[in-house]
């Protein structure tokens, strides 16, 4: 199989071995519980977790408890934009890598390996990137997922198309992000019917419309000598181009001021399609807290992490403002 190589590449096996050693020296400690947050030691009940820290130590520490247990991962890591993002005067996070592509690739690969170790055997991983790194990520993920289990690997390259953003002078304007879907085995959770659109009465494709006596609409199309008929109430299989979800505009009530905040509708689609109620959802770059907020609303268990103090505070406030079960705020200590 084709493999992407860079200066100083560490293999999957080396990362897994190093992490196994690190994991023994790391444990998760609770911060001061407050208001609706509960102490994990209060009871044996499950509590959702918001972790402040670098993904390397957080994911390594989580392996103690959650190896092969996470049902769904969504990540929206730094894209190598070369920018520093702030809210008011406070820096949220820096996405500058000093043009060190080797360093960025190793960082990304390391993240993917740890997430692969955490994923359940029927788990799914969504990786949200853009034109800067999506092509590298695909080769890294192919290597990690396909070499470890037959039938595992690539499922979709989702194009999230939007209207916002700048114009280009000497190229086509870049108006989409890429979300890669990989699964750890050929058995995985996928419910297209939950996110499907009703066919309806508007003409699509080259179909012929028939209106029945009762006013009901049917659509027909002939292909390869066969006639296909669909009722207006039938569901259309969702495609890998998502153009119906808009970026949050500056005054959108959903906005909480975190620079790279994604819309809830995006996470809702992902979580509904690829998990069941009670499943465990993980996001180790949670930023504005969109993943835990939506996971909570859809009755999934969640673990969210970010290294940025601002992200943790914004997420914490967002979760406290939402009607929800108690959660714990934690960090990793050595």
- What residues make contact with ligand SAM under the rule CB under 6 A? 54-55, 76-78, 92-93, 258, 260-262, 284-285, 287-288, 290, 305-308, 311
**Nearest residue to ligand SAM on Cβ basis:** 287
Closest CB to ligand SAM among residues 219, 258 = 258
Closest listed residue to residue 269, CA positions, set 289, 249, 240:
240
Q: How far is the CB of 162 from ligand SAM (least distance, A)?
A: 14
Q: How far is the CB of 164 from ligand SAM (least distance, A)?
A: 15
Closest CB to ligand SAM among residues 145, 285 = 285
Closest CB to ligand SAM among residues 128, 138 = 128
Distance CA 52, CA 330 (A): 6
Closest CB to ligand SAM among residues 308, 330 = 308
Q: How many CB atoms lie within 10 A of CB 20?
A: 13
Q: How far is the CB of 174 from ligand SAM (least distance, A)?
A: 16
Angle of helix 12-24 relative to helix 55-66, nearest 10 degrees?
Answer: 80
Closest CB to ligand SAM among residues 222, 246 = 246
Q: How far is the CB of 286 from ligand SAM (least distance, A)?
A: 6
Distance CA 3, CA 34 (A): 48
Supply the DSSP string of 224-269, one letter for each residue: TTEEEEEETTSEEPP-SEE-SSPPPPTT-TT--S-TTPPPHHHHHH
Distance set, CA 326 to CA 62, 97, 223, 321 (Å): 20, 37, 54, 12
- Strand, coil or helix: what is 87? strand
Closest CB to ligand SAM among residues 152, 305 = 305
Q: How far is the CB of 55 from ligand SAM (least distance, A)?
A: 4
Q: How far is the CB of 308 from ligand SAM (least distance, A)?
A: 3
Supply the DSSP string of 8-19, one letter for each residue: TPPPHHHHHHHH
């Amino acid at each position: 199989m084709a493999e992407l190589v860079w200066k100083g590449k560490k293999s999957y096996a080396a990362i897994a071995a190093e992490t196994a050693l690190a994991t023994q020296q790391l444990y998760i400690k609770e911060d001061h519980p407050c208001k609706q947050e509960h102490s994990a030691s209060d009871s044996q009940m499950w509590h959702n977790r918001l972790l402040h820290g670098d993904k390397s130590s957080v994911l390594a520490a989580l392996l103690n408890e959650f190896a092969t247990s996470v049902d769904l991962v969504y990540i929206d890591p730094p894209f190598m934009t070369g920018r520093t993002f702030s809210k008011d005067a406070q820096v949220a996070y820096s996405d500058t890598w000093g043009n060190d592509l080797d360093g960025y690739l190793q960082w990304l690969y390391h993240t993917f390996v740890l997430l692969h170790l955490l994923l359940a055997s029927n788990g799914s991983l969504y990786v949200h990137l853009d034109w800067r790194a999506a092509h590298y990520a695909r080769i890294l993920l192919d290597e990690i997922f396909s070499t470890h289990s037959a039938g595992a690997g690539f499922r979709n390259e989702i194009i999230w198309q939007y209207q916002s953003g700048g114009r280009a002078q000497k190229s086509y304007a870049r108006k989409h992000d890429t979300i890669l879907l990989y699964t750890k085995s050929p058995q995985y959770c996928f419910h297209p019917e939950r996110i499907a659109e009703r066919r309806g009465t508007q003409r699509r494709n080259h179909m012929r419309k028939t209106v029945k006596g009762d006013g009901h609409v049917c659509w027909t199309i002939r292909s390869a000598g066969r006639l296909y008929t669909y009722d207006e109430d039938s569901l259309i299989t969702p495609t890998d181009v998502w153009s119906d979800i808009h970026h949050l505009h500056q005054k959108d009530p959903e906005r909480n001021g975190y620079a790279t905040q994604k819309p809830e509708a995006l996470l809702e689609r992902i979580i509904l399609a690829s998990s069941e109620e009670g499943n465990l959802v993980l996001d180790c770059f949670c930023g504005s807290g969109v993943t835990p907020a939506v996971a909570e609303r859809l009755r999934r268990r969640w673990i969210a992490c970010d290294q940025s103090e601002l992200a943790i505070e914004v997420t914490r406030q967002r979760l406290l403002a939402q009607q929800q079960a108690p959660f714990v705020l934690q960090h990793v200590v050595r």
